[in-house]
Amino acid sequence: MRRAAALLAGALALALGACAAVRPPPAPTPAAQAPRIQHWTTPNGARVYFVETHELPMVDVRVVFAAGSARDGGKPGLAALTAALLDQGAGGRSADAIAEALEGVGAVLGTESARDMAAVTLRTLSEPRLAEVAYGVLADVVARPDFRPADFARERARMEVALRVALQRPGELAARAFYRAVYGDHPYASPPGGTPESVRALTRADVVAFHRRWYVARNAVVAIVGDLDRAGAER
């Protein structure tokens, strides 16, 4: 009985070895292909970069302006305050109305500001009926912000409080000291959000003038990725 078991085990080992010997090598992993980036400049001077992909029924849009804190012009925090106010009211719609319009079509919009740039981002479903609503909101936020006095006062106060809280953190103090040491008198030395004192000194007129100067097509780069063709992107 033990001899039979040993013979059976040997036969199984030979069979498995034979299977391993004839198993084909794994197929090579296909090389990743770089996306095809299409580029053009609009008649009003905006540079557009577009990648067409239909894997998901979505479109991502990012509109970037050279409108970061390096353009504050001696008024630290101006670029950050301007960017923060863009979606607080635009095209005659309040912040709540903007949020409702986007929520109704499943879109998400955001704003941001840094030293070199400010940006507005949009993610929307690609179904034309829904996307057109989202694109309309994006256009209003970028080109037609209302900068209502009440919105301005509220956002300025919020920024001032946030800055006072941030300045209680050792890491924030160290970062500010580092940038001052590295950049000296260069605009990069100034913190993008400004200081509580500099933000309190900003006026609505400052914000309106900053937007009028820097949020223009010739100062913009637009990146579009998603489920639409070139004709749709050019619209």
CB 219 within 8 A of CB 66: yes
Total number of domains in the chain? 1
Token representation of residue 98: 């903007």
> In this structure, is residue 23 part of a structural domain?
no
Query: Is residue 1 a part of any domain in this protein?
Result: no
Asked whether the beta carbons of 155 and 85 are under 8 A apart, the reply is yes
Residue 86, classified by CB atoms within 10 Å of its CB into exposed (0-12), middle (13-18) or buried (19+), is: buried
> 7 in a domain, yes or no?
no
Per-10-residue mean pLDDT, the chain, length 235? 49 48 65 84 97 97 98 96 98 97 98 97 98 98 98 98 95 92 90 95 98 98 97 90
Residue 165 lies inside a defined structural domain of this protein:
yes
**Helix (H), strand (E) at residue 8:** helix 2-22
Asked if residue 53 lies in contact with residue 106, where contact means CB atoms within 8 angstroms, the answer is: no
Interatomic CA distance for residues 24 and 10, integer angstroms = 24
Kindly state whether residue 4 falls inside one of the protein's structural domains.
Answer: no
DSSP per-residue codes, 47-64 = EEEEEE--SSSEEEEEEE
Examine residue 215 and state whether it is found in any structural domain, yes or no.
yes
Q: What is the pTM of this model?
A: 0.83
Instruction: List the domain range (segments joined by +) for residue 110.
Output: 35-234
Res 193: pLDDT:
94
Q: Which structure tokens are listed for 39?
A: 């580029």
Q: What is the pLDDT of residues 12-59, one digit of tens each?
A: 454 445 444 556 677 676 666 778 999 999 999 999 999 999 999 999
Looking at residue 12, its pLDDT comes to 47
Tell me: the pLDDT tens digits for 40-53? 999 999 999 999 99
Q: What is the CATH number of the domain that holds 81?
A: 3.30.830.10
β-bridge mates for residue 93, sequence order:
90
CA distance 16 to 85: 69
Domain assignment present for 14: no
Residues 50 and 60: their CA atoms lie apart, in Å, by 10
Q: Could you tell me if residue 27 is inside a domain?
A: no
Question: What per-residue confidence (pLDDT) applies to 22?
Answer: 54
**According to the model, what pLDDT value does residue 185 have?**
87
